[in-house]
């Protein structure tokens, strides 16, 4: 089954207390999620346990980490492993966000190792891809984003690629208030699904959730999520506001 997913990415925002208040606000809205829907909160590492407690065992609510190291364990001061994330009861991890690619020099090759270690520890990767403005303006966005998937995911066997959630986040739409149009999102999502289908077959491609990220808000989520190949969103700024993120969860189809 292909899930429709509203994923909050808090990035490096909110204090512990602010995070607790925000989660309480959203969970108190008691938004019931049918089995094909999920709400996920990607919170900073020190808040994972607290966030896990806040969602309790509410059906189809989950917690994600925002990153993990690519190796199992060892002398890597300040790093957090996939095994550690799993050991606190967390089920998802964002891998390859454009901010990590840009500011922490994460390459496609490194990200393929992160995907592997996450899967080895039964974490579901939310794998991010997306092009910069110059790439879009040069008309090469399709081959660029397909290349990101091929380089970091296509070594996986079919039963493992089905465990990945893909998030398409055009860099020019992140934090800029400028969303891709719902047609631009649909075009890229359909293209990426066709690239996956070519490698793994249509039935596999049809099971993979592809989220859109980039200035999603309560007011545009219904329109963007209504596109047939858009299976929800990965949300930064608007996920820091309870009313906004609740509206985004409610916009899932």
- Catalytic residue positions, numbered: 97, 169
Is 130 a binding residue for ligand 13P by CB under 6 A? The answer is: no
Is 9 a binding residue for ligand 13P by CB under 6 A? The answer is: yes
**Binds ligand 13P by CB under 6 A, chosen from 19, 170, 218, 236:** 236
Is 125 a binding residue for ligand 13P by CB under 6 A? The answer is: no
Q: What is the dihedral of CA 233, 234, 237, 238, to 10 degrees?
A: 30
**Binds ligand 13P by CB under 6 A, chosen from 135, 153, 216, 246:** 216
Is 67 a binding residue for ligand 13P by CB under 6 A? The answer is: no
How many residues bind ligand 13P (CB under 6 A)? The answer is 14
**Binds ligand 13P by CB under 6 A, chosen from 146, 235, 246, 251:** 235
Question: Which residue number has the CB closest to ligand 13P?
Answer: 236
Closest distance of CB 73 from ligand 13P, Å: 27
Closest distance of CB 178 from ligand 13P, Å: 9
Kindly report the backbone phi and psi dihedral angles of residue 39, in degrees, each rounded to the nearest multiple of 5, phi listed first. -120, 130
Q: Which is nearer to ligand 13P, 27 or 234 (CB)?
A: 234
Task: Pick the stretch among 117-125, 138-146, 219-227, 229-237 that binds ligand 13P (CB under 6 A).
Answer: 229-237
Q: Is 25 exposed, middle or buried (0-12, 13-18, 19+ CB in 10 A)?
A: middle
Is 214 a binding residue for ligand 13P by CB under 6 A? The answer is: yes
Q: Which is nearer to ligand 13P, 200 or 225 (CB)?
A: 225
Which string of x and - marks every residue 169-208 that binds ligand 13P (by CB under 6 A)? x----xx---------------------------------
Is 232 a binding residue for ligand 13P by CB under 6 A? The answer is: no
The pairing of strands 124-129 and 37-42 is: unpaired
Give the residues lining the site for ligand 13P (CB under 6 A).
9, 97, 169, 174-175, 213-216, 234-238
């Amino acid at each position: 089954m292909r899930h429709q997913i509203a994923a909050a990415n808090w990035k490096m925002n909110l204090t512990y207390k602010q995070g607790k208040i925000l989660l309480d606000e959203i969970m108190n809205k008691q938004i019931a999620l049918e089995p094909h829907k999920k709400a996920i909160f990607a919170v900073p590492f020190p808040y994972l346990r607290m966030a896990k407690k806040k969602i309790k065992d509410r059906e189809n609510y989950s917690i994600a980490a925002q990153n993990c190291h690519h190796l199992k364990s060892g002398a890597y001061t300040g790093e957090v492993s996939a095994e550690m994330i799993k050991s606190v009861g967390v089920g998802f991890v964002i891998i390859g966000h454009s901010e990590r690619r840009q500011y922490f020099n994460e390459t496609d090759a490194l990200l393929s190792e992160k995907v592997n270690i996450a899967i080895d520890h039964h974490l579901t990767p939310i794998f991010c891809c997306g092009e910069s403005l110059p790439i879009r303006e040069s008309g090469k966005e399709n081959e660029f984003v397909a290349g990101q998937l091929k380089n970091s995911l296509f070594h996986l066997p079919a039963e493992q690629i089905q465990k990945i959630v893909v998030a398409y986040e055009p860099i020019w739409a992140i934090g800029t208030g400028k969303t891709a149009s719902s047609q631009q999102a649909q075009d890229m999502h359909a293209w990426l699904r066709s690239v996956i289908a070519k490698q793994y077959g249509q039935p596999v491609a049809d099971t993979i959730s592809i989220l859109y990220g980039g200035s999603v808000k309560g007011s545009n989520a219904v329109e963007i999520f209504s596109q047939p190949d858009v299976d929800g969103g990965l949300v930064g700024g608007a996920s820091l506001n309870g009313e906004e993120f609740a509206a985004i969860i409610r916009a899932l189809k």
